[in-house]
């Protein structure tokens, strides 16, 4: 099993497959590198080197009591890219991983060729005077309560309902997809998953403003976790070289439910 050890002694698990230009994937909450299986296999077969890690506190990485915050996650990612000596890399982040990618690229742009923010929380996802479409305070508290309560039960509710849009009219839930989400979530630590909510209350505006490399923003218009109007238009406006790709009816977890559509779109952007 491939791991690196961070400066503060945390073991970070990662996958590193293939050769060619590297594509680095940052997963969402409360998942693992496994959530990128469909993308990693697709790009591996298109001649790319694909890399994904389990964020600290998640999956096969250590579960420390400290450092479960965005700045530590970004430094962990930087330690991994330095360890692997990655240059000219494409960074793709989903949801919470979008915040990780945005801040990483803002700080380590010399290593990056392009970036993609998929269903990302950037620039912010909380409701305010400037973001009337954001999630209200009680939404974040419900997530915290779910983690503190019966986490195993809560981790069935999330994929059965808002994450993949299976609660919408006409949706056809996949038990296998729901179970795989549950498997990944329960492999991680409750402490890190609880602390992650703080990263959803951060503002990533200044990170986006610093990015000059091309960035593709991809978002489903039926996203119930990071509402489309909450972040997407503002993110593209803040980026110096941003482009937007929207998907009517697609949910937050569209990388899994609609991989056959998103993967070719990702490839087109990377090759452009």
Query: 66: helix, coil or strand?
Result: coil
Q: Which of 35, 58, 76, 95 is catalytic?
A: 95
Cα separation values, 204 from 124, 125, 234, 242, 266, Å: 6, 10, 11, 15, 23
Whether 252 is catalytic is yes
CB proximity list for 173: less than 8 A, separation 6 or greater: 160, 164, 166
Catalytic member of 54, 223, 230, 231: 223
Q: Give all strands of the β-sheet with 89-94 in edge-to-edge order.
A: 3-5, 11-17, 49-53, 22-26, 89-94, 112-118, 215-220, 242-247
223 labelled catalytic:
yes
Please indicate whether residue 95 is annotated as part of the active site: yes
d(Cα 45, Cα 18) in Å, to the nearest integer? 9
Q: Please, which residues have CB within 8 angstroms of residue 13's CB and are 6 or more apart in sequence?
A: 1, 2, 3, 33, 53, 54, 59, 60, 61
Catalytic residues: 95, 223, 252
């Amino acid at each position: 099993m491939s791991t690196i050890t961070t400066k503060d002694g945390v073991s970070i698990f990662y996958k590193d497959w293939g050769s060619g230009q590297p594509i680095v994937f940052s997963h969402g909450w409360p998942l693992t590198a496994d959530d990128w299986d469909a993308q990693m296999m697709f790009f591996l077969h298109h001649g790319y080197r694909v890399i994904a890690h389990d964020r600290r506190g998640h999956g096969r990485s250590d579960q420390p009591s400290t450092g479960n915050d965005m700045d530590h996650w970004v430094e962990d990612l930087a330690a991994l890219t330095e360890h692997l000596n990655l240059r000219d890399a494409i960074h793709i982040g989903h949801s919470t991983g979008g915040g990780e990618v945005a801040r990483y690229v803002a700080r380590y742009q010399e290593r990056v060729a392009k970036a993609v923010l998929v269903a990302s929380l950037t620039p912010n996802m909380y409701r305010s005077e400037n973001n009337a479409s954001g999630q209200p305070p009680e939404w974040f508290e419900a997530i915290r309560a779910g983690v503190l309560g019966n986490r195993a039960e809560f981790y069935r509710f999330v994929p059965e309902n808002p994450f993949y849009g299976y609660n919408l009219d006409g949706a056809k839930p996949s038990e296998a997809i729901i179970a795989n989400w549950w498997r990944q979530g329960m492999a991680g630590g409750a402490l890190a998953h609880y602390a992650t909510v703080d990263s959803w209350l951060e503002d990533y505006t200044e990170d986006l403003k610093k990015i000059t490399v091309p960035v593709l923003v991809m978002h489903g218009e039926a996203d119930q976790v990071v509402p489309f109007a909450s972040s997407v238009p503002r993110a593209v406006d803040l980026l110096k070289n941003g482009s937007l790709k929207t998907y009517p009816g697609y949910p937050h977890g569209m990388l899994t439910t609609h991989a056959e559509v998103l993967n070719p779109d990702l490839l087109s952007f990377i090759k452009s």
